[in-house]
Copies of this chain bind each other. A is one copy, B any other.
Amino acid sequence: MTKTTEQHRVVIVGGGFGGLYAAKALGRAPVNVTLIDKRNFHLFQPLLYQVATGTVSPADISSPLRAILSKHKNTQVLMEEVVDIDPEQQQIMMKGKTVPYDTLVVATGVSHHYFGNEQWKETAPGLKTVEDALEMRRRIFMAFEAAEKETDAEKRRAWLTFVIVGGGPTGVELAGAIAELAFHTLREDFRSIDTTEAQILLLEGMDRVLPPYPEDLSIEAAASLTRLGVTVKTKTLVTNITDNVVTTRCGEQVEQIAARTILWAAGVKASAMGQVLADRTGAQLDRAGRVSVGSDLSIPNYPNIFVIGDLANFTQADGKPLPGVAPVAIQEGEYVAKLIRQRLKGQTLPEFSYVNAGSLAVIGQNSAVVDLGFIKFTGIIAWLIWVFAHIYYLIEFDNKLIVMLQWGWSYFTRNRGARLITGEEDLLKVEMDNNGEFHAPSSSKSTVEA
């Protein structure tokens, strides 16, 4: 690594929306930037559900970090995992390597949260990484294959039952996309089963889906999902998950749902860097492990350490924390980059404030809900806003016009070209055991048994 010692060294950990936009905004600043990520690509997470349901490929919603930043000669990309921070020596530690910083930006995001039921992870995978999405894709399409082979009506029904836990944007989008698969895309493809008999259940613990959205949008979203064929169950808590049964509680009512495909979209917790920061700097963590940051996104006592994106807990003037969505991370990344530039000039910036870019969630073809703050949309207008908002961000990088064309094609044909069942060889078989029961393999050695 070449270092220009005179130059201010900015180290950014994490190449998601927060870290990447911070790096981009520093590309022409008189600083030395090091962007560190475990992966070699930026992932456009809001569209990950489309990988999970077979519309686009992982590469369609990813861009190599090196390619995005290749023109920024002051920027170095390292594919590494940061394991520790030394805020006094101003350096971060990776395996076998130490990198010094003058300013540190931590943007390592969040992972799934099973609220103390980590054993559910194998049976009910979440959706954060490309590998997660391919695993979901494998399970969804494998379930239809298993149902096609199963002759016992009750067991076939379990293969055709899809339970999505969590009614936030990801849960809503997954439920809508699986409904479109079952009721449209796949309906001509099988001979022994009728895919339109599939049951898609969306479970939400609160009293409505999309809880942070305005109530009328939640009502409209639930109505759209119902029209698509999704069974929406609110005020419904999941109390247990096994290989093929989800146990729920709604008030006093306990229900057991026989389902072979259970997808987790219910909760997130901070990545490990949150705890590292707390241990090393005394920074405060909230219940989800996110780091409480000050009005300029730095942490107390360390004005040169910033936390941005989903890992940060930034409390707004109204006392509410900012949501963990891409527009927040982008604005935070750009703010921190600007503040670093200002400080180098001996100046500062007013405190960070989020300009609400709106909340949006897609439900299915032609159907979405959009809250722009001053105006709300549902239906096809909302859907068009959603499409263009996503294309706008995607084309910032490289060849993502392809995604638009893929969407156009899927839109008119309702075809899904990316429904490959892939993985290691033993994951590709649904096999009958000695009791004549079919088993779909789990991606890792699960100890959860029905």
Contacts of A396 in B (CB 8 A): none
Q: Does A93 contact B (CB under 8 A)?
A: no
Contacts of A71 in B (CB 8 A): 188
Cβ < 8 Å to B, chain A residues 39-64: 39-41, 54, 57-60, 62-64
Bound together, the chains give a CA A424 to CA B32 distance in angstroms of 32
Q: Does A119 contact B (CB under 8 A)?
A: no
Copies in the assembly, this chain: 2
Q: Does A206 contact B (CB under 8 A)?
A: no
Contacts of A398 in B (CB 8 A): 413, 415, 417
Contacts of A419 in B (CB 8 A): 40-41, 59, 64, 67
Q: Could you tell me if B428 and A399 are in contact, using CB atoms closer than 8 angstroms? A: no
Contacts of A145 in B (CB 8 A): 40, 79
Partner of A60, one of B2, B57, B192: B57
Give A residues with C-beta under 8 Å from B.
1-2, 38-41, 54, 57-60, 62-64, 66-67, 70-71, 76-81, 95-97, 130-131, 134, 141, 145, 148-149, 186, 188-192, 398-402, 405-406, 409-410, 413, 415, 417-425, 428-432, 436
Q: Could you tell me if B420 and A130 are in contact, using CB atoms closer than 8 angstroms? A: yes
Contacts of A57 in B (CB 8 A): 57-60, 418
> Which residue among A41, A76, A141, A420 has the maximum number of chain B CB atoms within 10 Å of its CB?
A420
Contacts of A1 in B (CB 8 A): 191-192
Q: Could you tell me if A406 and B402 are in contact, using CB atoms closer than 8 angstroms? A: yes
Q: Could you tell me if A431 and B59 are in contact, using CB atoms closer than 8 angstroms? A: no
A-B contact pairs, 20 of them (CB 8 A): A38-B429, A40-B141, A57-B57, A58-B422, A59-B417, A59-B420, A60-B417, A63-B417, A64-B417, A64-B420, A66-B189, A76-B191, A79-B421, A80-B149, A96-B436, A131-B424, A398-B415, A402-B405, A402-B417, A405-B405
Q: Could you tell me if B420 and A62 are in contact, using CB atoms closer than 8 angstroms? A: yes
Partner of A423, one of B70, B96, B131, B420: B131
Q: Could you tell me if A40 and B420 are in contact, using CB atoms closer than 8 angstroms? A: yes
A24: min CB distance to chain B, Å: 15
